[in-house]
Amino acid sequence: MREGRTVVERTLVLIKPDGVRRSIIGEVISRIERKGLRIAAMDMRTLSTEVAEAHYEEHANRPFFASLVEFITGGPLVAMVVEGERAIEAFRSLAGATDPVSAVPGTIRGDFALEVQENIVHGSDSTYSADREIKLFFPELA
């Protein structure tokens, strides 16, 4: 149990191409803001293969890697730096489990997705990943 110590963090959030195609950018941003997290930087961009491979480098040996890179580069996405108290865990909790079928209703993935790959959002999973991913997407902020 924490005892009132404030731990302000930054996390990299992506609204993946499926979220953009489904026109739920506003819905996702609204949930982030309602939670009390702040958007410190944001833009829409289409990832190059190089950036996508670097972003998902920890999955390079997984069978779904090529398909994941194709999906994430397949259309524009929204990239943002989200900050606030324990922002990494707070956003992961808003997002829900990786597999949207197991994700609890009320979470972004639980409410809007069915497929493990097309699961609407990404959020960094640790302070180490957040630093690395923010440097990759928003080098000017790192």
Torsion angle of C-alpha atoms 126, 49, 25, 127, degrees rounded to 10: 10
Binders of ligand UDP among residues 98 to 137 (CB under 6 A) are 98, 116-117, 119, 122, 125
What minimum distance in Å lies between the beta carbon of 68 and ligand UDP? 5
Instruction: Record the tokens describing residue 114, joined without a space.
Output: 């069915």
Distance, CA of 23 to CA of 127 (rounded, Å): 30
Cβ atoms of 32 and 82 within 8 Å: the answer is yes
- x/- site string to ligand UDP, residues 63 to 82, per CB under 6 A? -x---x--------------
What minimum distance in Å lies between the beta carbon of 27 and ligand UDP? 18
Active site residues: 122
Q: Residue 11 or 119: which CB sits closer to ligand UDP?
A: 119
Q: Residue 4 or 115: which CB sits closer to ligand UDP?
A: 115
Sheet holding 38-45, edge to edge: 38-45, 77-85, 8-15, 121-123
Query: Any idea what DSSP says for residue 116?
Result: S
What minimum distance in Å lies between the beta carbon of 56 and ligand UDP? 6
Residues that bind ligand UDP (CB under 6 A): 64, 68, 98, 116-117, 119, 122, 125
